[in-house]
Structure 1
Amino acid sequence: MSKSQITFNVELRERTGTGGSRAARRDGFVPGVLYGGGEDPVAISLKRNEVQKAIETGHFLSSTATLVHKGEKQLVIPQAIQMHPVTDQPMHVDLFRVSRDQKIKVEVQVHFKGEEVSPGLKKGGTLNVVRHTVELLVPAGNIPESLDADVSTLEIGDNVKISDISLPGDAEPTITDRDFTIATIAGRTAAAEPAADADEEEGDEGEAAEAESED
């Protein structure tokens, strides 16, 4: 199932609150709330098997989905999902209305390619991943499946930065003040490098948090 194929056939949920949620779960549904888009929140029920399949894609919270109700469709972005602590079954889903052209923030997985031919790795170096995901600002209808980081030509001491990764033309990283590092090829004697990279990562997160608080 690709990101564009996540579809939920939903029903409006007349009973709300704890009792309504329990009734929905007994009938094989996952209770949820649809909100945003300048409209009032709506209580809905999603088919449990469709929610489970979406979770199994591995990118449920980083992709859009289409809600279908009586033939009408609504593009949404999942905001949160509550899982049962024992059975690990989905218990509740929050969904946010979006349009295809609306830019949203989303975490996109980084895939590394060329590891088998990287000269630095062949010499005994280690791929030190600083960022497994990158947060992008991208139109909801054009979220990439993943980002490709090519390490096939890297030597020990080289790195991959965000500028080395091809992004969709209408997407940009939310961190724009520097060309941040995605991964490095560390040598056997470069034991201190991971700590330095961790410091950089903490700096990224701290600055991102400050930016959010300023917003």
Structure 2
Amino acid sequence: MSAVKPLEAVARDRVGKGAARAVRRQGQIPAVIYGGGQAPQAIAVDLIRTRTLIYAGGFKTTVFEISAGGRKTRVIPRDFQLDPVTGVPMHVDFLRVVAGQTVTVEVPVHFLNDDKAPGIKQRGGTLNIVAHTLALDVAPDQIPDAIEIDLTGRDIGDVIHVTDVKLPSGVTYTGEATDTVANIVPPTVLGAEVEAEEAAIAEAQSAESAEEKAEEAGEAEGEGEKPEA
């Protein structure tokens, strides 16, 4: 479970496009805190700090304690917008964390011990990852950093379903239990096909080069012949 992270903010008394642009000119990002049976609160957070948090990963699964307007509020990010050209954060929505509530979050999947999977280590198979994250319903203060899946003993042809995944207590998967997370597939023949194609191209280029050299030699020999008297 991720630790609660502090996040400084300032309360905003003006909203709207003009006010948002003014906030951005000051090196901040307009944001809003909503939910929990309370009225939305407009705030502004530091651009550099927020951008770092977003691009570090796990932003939307982290609980923050925001200090703004003389009070502290525990929240979890629910959405953010990035500039489509520059990638700079433009706005963030935070949901208040209330006791007893659950949220749906995308938690990354980590695969362990691939060196102990015969299908990969001994037989050259490949782990084909179908789901890099799992959508989980969980209390905000119990969000796991990742879901770990042990590949020990896995062989070619093995399929890992959600039912094979051990989820932490109090965590529920929102999809179907039969959903596939990953499987181990046989070694691909693509590599051999590429090598054969590259060899054929190299052979054709070598033959073409030899032919050109032969033609050049013939032309040089013809130019060297003296005309009969």
In the superposition, the TM-score normalised over structure 2's length comes to 0.75
SS in 1 for 2:66: strand
Report what 2:159 is aligned to. 159
Instruction: Work out the CA distance in 1 between the residues paired with 2:70 and 2:186.
Output: 57
Report what 2:74 is aligned to. 75
Instruction: Work out the CA distance in 2 between the residues paired with 1:55 and 1:151.
Output: 30
Report what 1:213 is aligned to. none
Instruction: Work out the CA distance in 2 between the residues paired with 1:52 and 1:4.
Output: 19
Which has the larger share of helix? 2
Report Cα offsets for 1:116-138 as digits up to 9, x if no partner: 22100120211111111111111
Report what 2:10 is aligned to. 11
The size of the alignment, in residue pairs, is 189
Which has the larger share of strand? 1
1:136–1:173 Cα contact (<8 Å) kept: yes
2:139 is aligned with 1:136? no
Q: Which amino acid aligns with 2:179?
A: F
Relative to structure 1, is the Cα distance of residues 88 and 178 closer, same or farther in structure 2, using a 3 angstrom cutoff? closer
SS in 1 for 2:156: coil
Report what 2:62 is aligned to. 63
SS in 1 for 2:3: helix
1:10-49 pair list within 5 angstroms: 10-49=9-48
Instruction: Work out the CA distance in 2 between the residues paired with 1:148 and 1:100.
Output: 27
1:156–1:187 Cα contact (<8 Å) kept: yes
Report Cα offsets for 1:94-152 as digits up to 9, x if no partner: 11112254211111100111112210012021111111111111111110000001112
Instruction: Work out the CA distance in 2 between the residues paired with 1:162 and 1:143.
Output: 18
2:158–2:184 Cα contact (<8 Å) kept: yes
Instruction: Work out the CA distance in 1 between the residues paired with 2:159 and 2:52.
Output: 36
2:163–2:177 Cα contact (<8 Å) kept: no
2:93 is aligned with 1:102? no
Pairwise CA distance, 1:181 = 2.1
Structure with bigger gyration radius: 2
Instruction: Work out the CA distance in 2 between the residues paired with 1:45 and 1:85.
Output: 21
1:120–1:156 Cα contact (<8 Å) kept: yes
Report what 2:117 is aligned to. 118
Unmatched 5+ stretches in structure 1? 192-215
Q: Which moved more, 1:145-154 or 1:161-170?
A: 161-170
Relative to structure 1, is the Cα distance of residues 56 and 3 closer, same or farther in structure 2, using a 3 angstrom cutoff? farther
Runs of 4+ in 1 over 6 A off after TM superposition: none
1:101–1:141 Cα contact (<8 Å) kept: no
SS in 2 for 1:46: strand
Report Cα offsets for 1:177-203 as digits up to 9, x if no partner: 533321111124799xxxxxxxxxxxx
Pairwise CA distance, 1:71 = 5.5
Report what 1:206 is aligned to. none
Unmatched 5+ stretches in structure 2? 191-229
SS in 1 for 2:155: coil
Q: Which amino acid aligns with 2:126?
A: T
Q: Which amino acid aligns with 1:149?
A: I
Instruction: Work out the CA distance in 2 between the residues paired with 1:100 and 1:37.
Output: 9
Pairwise CA distance, 1:57 = 2.4
Report Cα offsets for 1:34-86 as digits up to 9, x if no partner: 11111111211111122122113211123322211255321212121111222
